[in-house]
């Protein structure tokens, strides 16, 4: 189990952990019924915080930010000398949490996506983990929630008896959800991005050799160029440029240089 604590990558405090440590921290919080916000951050997710002071504040308030992308893992080695054998990838982290939840008889709740996606996801999880307790699921409304809808969402998840909530709303909406709902739900809330789509079979994952070399973005860009070209062709070079500035100490990135959000966004 490897846990080297939080490391500053462009002002975002990413946890230098492996899968075992990440899962253990999540399950400990589930056992204690403790509020616990988690996200698996690749370059895109990290850059949403770099470019938005309020979102930077949210991310740095998370209990656990794992290095989802290989370039984020490499950055921790280049900047801080922290060596991890692998990244902590959202889809795999989701499956590892489900495996432990099945073993420890802890129930999960699925939030986000469409009803059809959730049905496919539930079926795939039931096939992989026959004894996993899925306490309930709730589709996204694909818009901001009213305060009344926020209260209804909290009541639904809490009434289900779930001990862990998995959220698939896409970045950065899922991180906003985890930040705003963590305390009210009083359980681990995991922002897992496209994990729902990958596990349900709706999206194909990049070949392992591309994942290991940090080229998953190129594979996904080839699959969805019109939706993803701005994300990867603009943000990736910017990430590299800013990383070089931090590495050479030509610019410092202070995690405290952030602004608390003025109001709740209430994504759902």
Q: Which of 109, 121, 87, 112 is nearest to 30 (CA)?
A: 109
Residue 58: inside a domain: yes
In terms of residue numbers, what domain contains 145? 3-200
Q: Which of 86, 48, 71, 263 is nearest to 175 (CA)?
A: 48
Residue 233: inside a domain: no
Residue 96: inside a domain: yes
Q: Which of 120, 87, 124, 92 is nearest to 190 (CA)?
A: 92
% of the chain surpassing 90 pLDDT: 77
Q: What is the model's pLDDT at position 170?
A: 87
Q: What is the model's pLDDT at position 266?
A: 65
Residue 153: inside a domain: yes
Report the alpha-carbon angle 75-45-262, nearest 5: 120
pLDDT tens, position by position, 124-177: 999 999 999 999 999 998 888 888 999 999 999 999 999 999 999 988 999 999
* Separation of alpha carbons 234 and 25, rounded Å: 34
Residue 241: inside a domain: no
Query: Which stretches does DSSP call E strand in the chain?
Result: 3-9, 12-17, 36-41, 64-67, 107-111, 133-138, 164-167, 188-191
pLDDT tens, position by position, 81-99: 999 999 999 999 999 999 9
What residues in the chain have per-residue pLDDT under 70? 204, 266-268
- 5 is written with which tokens? 């604590």
Residue 150: inside a domain: yes
Residue 187: inside a domain: yes
Q: What is the model's pLDDT at position 195?
A: 92
Cα–Cα distances (Å) from 13 to 49, 108, 205, 243, 266, in that order, read 10, 27, 27, 14, 24
Q: What is the model's pLDDT at position 268?
A: 62
Under DSSP, the state recorded for 236 is H
Q: What is the model's pLDDT at position 216?
A: 78
Q: What is the pTM of this model?
A: 0.91
CATH number of 27's domain: 3.40.50
Number of domains observed in the structure of the chain: 1
Residue with tokens 């405290």: 256
Q: What is the model's pLDDT at position 212?
A: 78
Q: What is the model's pLDDT at position 267?
A: 67
Residue 209: inside a domain: no
């Amino acid at each position: 189990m490897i846990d080297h604590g939080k490391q500053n990558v462009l002002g975002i405090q990413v946890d230098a952990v492996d899968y075992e440590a990440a899962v253990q921290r999540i399950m400990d919080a589930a056992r204690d019924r403790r509020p616990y916000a988690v996200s698996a951050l690749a370059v895109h997710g990290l850059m949403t915080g770099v470019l938005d002071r309020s979102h930077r504040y949210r991310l740095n308030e998370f209990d656990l930010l794992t290095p989802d992308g290989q370039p984020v893992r490499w950055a921790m080695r280049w900047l801080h000398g922290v060596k991890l054998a692998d990244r902590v990838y959202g889809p795999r982290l989701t499956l590892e949490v489900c495996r432990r939840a099945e073993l420890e008889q802890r129930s999960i709740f699925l939030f986000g996506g469409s009803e059809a996606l959730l049905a496919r996801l539930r079926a795939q999880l039931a096939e992989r983990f026959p004894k996993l307790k899925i306490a309930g699921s709730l589709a996204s409304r694909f818009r901001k929630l009213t305060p009344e809808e926020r209260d209804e969402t909290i009541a639904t998840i809490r009434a289900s008896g779930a001990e862990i909530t998995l959220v698939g709303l896409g970045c950065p909406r899922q991180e906003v959800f985890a930040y705003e709902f963590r305390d009210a739900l009083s359980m681990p809330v995991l922002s897992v991005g496209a994990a729902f789509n990958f596990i349900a079979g709706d999206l194909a994952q990049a070949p392992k050799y591309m994942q290991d070399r940090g080229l998953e973005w190129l594979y996904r860009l080839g699959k969805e160029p019109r939706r993803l070209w701005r994300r990867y062709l603009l943000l990736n070079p910017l990430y590299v440029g800013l990383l070089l500035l931090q590495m050479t100490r030509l610019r410092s990135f202070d995690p405290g240089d952030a602004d608390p959000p003025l109001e709740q966004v209430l994504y759902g």
